[in-house]
Amino acid sequence: MALTAEELLSVWATGSERHPVDRGLLLFALAAPDTPGAELADRPLGERNSALLRLHQTLFGETLDGYCDCPHCGERLEFALRCGDLLAVADDTASMGEVAGLPCRPPTSRDLAAVSHLGDPEQAMWRLLQRCCGGGIANTASNTELLTAFEAALEQADPAADLNLALACDACGQAATVPLDIAHFLWEALTAQARRLLDEVHQLARAYGWGEAEILALPPVRRRAYLKRVLA
Ligand SMILES: [Zn+2]
């Protein structure tokens, strides 16, 4: 699906006010218009990520540009990924079965929201495990073995739920694993596009006195043609 300039700015304005998990759901709703809105929060995260990757392909193209700081030496590492490569590992029929003998389901956006206040990734993973595997797991005790089994089962059953990228640092040569937050990538691309549109509206409104709606309704090629004249 394509978005008009007005629709894109509307999504951006709504999402700007939201928590990242809810922003992910806003984008998921856009990416999966046939899925009832009330169900989105309870769909597996891999399904959400796949839908967001496909939306990125449609709206902003195939390439995800990103960077991270090396956890060992602090060097900035840039990377470019292809949405199609990430989609190739996705499996939208996520079913976890059992983890260490306990029935388990794949995590959803609702689970993500419930653990998002936890700063420590291991603690967040542990809470996810408790939510997804239900009763039978003590509230406070940590169990590394169970956590490892859960992560392995998740990787196997819903590989797009928790995407990571393995990098080797150019500066220090050490290996680093970077979490890939697809909702964040898509949101950044949408924000950049929204800022460009706002700049265009600002320049054209100032030059010609046209209203925002009028400017956004112009076909992009004509908007850019006027802009070129204003900036000439
Ligand atoms: Zn390094």
Question: How far apart (Å, rounded) are the C-alpha atoms in residues 220 and 223?
Answer: 5
139 alpha carbon to ligand 1 midpoint, in Å? 37
101: left (phi over 0), alpha (psi -120 to 50) or beta: left
Q: Ligand 1: distance of its center to the CA of 169 in Å?
A: 5
pLDDT at 45: 93
Q: How far apart are CA 149 and CA 162, in angstroms?
A: 15
Q: Which pLDDT belongs to residue 135?
A: 64
Report if pTM > 0.85: yes
Which pLDDT score, from 0 to 100, does residue 130 have?
87
Q: What integer pLDDT is reported at residue 2 of this predicted model?
A: 82
For residue 76, the CA-to-ligand 1 centroid distance in Å is 8
End-to-end alpha carbon distance in the chain? 34
**Local structure of 69: helix, strand or coil:** strand
The rounded Å distance from CA 67 to ligand 1 centre is 13
Cα–Cα–Cα angle for 19, 159, 111, rounded to 5 degrees: 35
In the reported structure, the alpha carbon of residue 178 is separated from the centroid of ligand 1 by a whole-number distance in angstroms of 13
CB atoms within 10 A of CB 189: 18
The CA 170 to ligand 1 mean position distance, Å, reads 7
pLDDT per 10-residue tile (average), the chain, 232 residues: 90 96 96 93 94 96 91 91 90 73 88 91 86 70 76 85 88 89 94 96 97 95 96 92
Ligand 1 centroid to Cα of residue 179, in Å, is: 16
Query: How far is ligand 1, taken at its centre, from the CA of residue 77, in Å?
Result: 8
176, 71 contact by CB (below 8 A): yes
Q: Distance (Å, rounded) from C-alpha 56 to C-alpha 108?
A: 20
Question: What residues pack around ion ligand 1 (CB closer than 5 A)?
Answer: 70, 72-73, 75, 169, 171-172
Residues 180/164, Cβ–Cβ less than 8 Å: yes
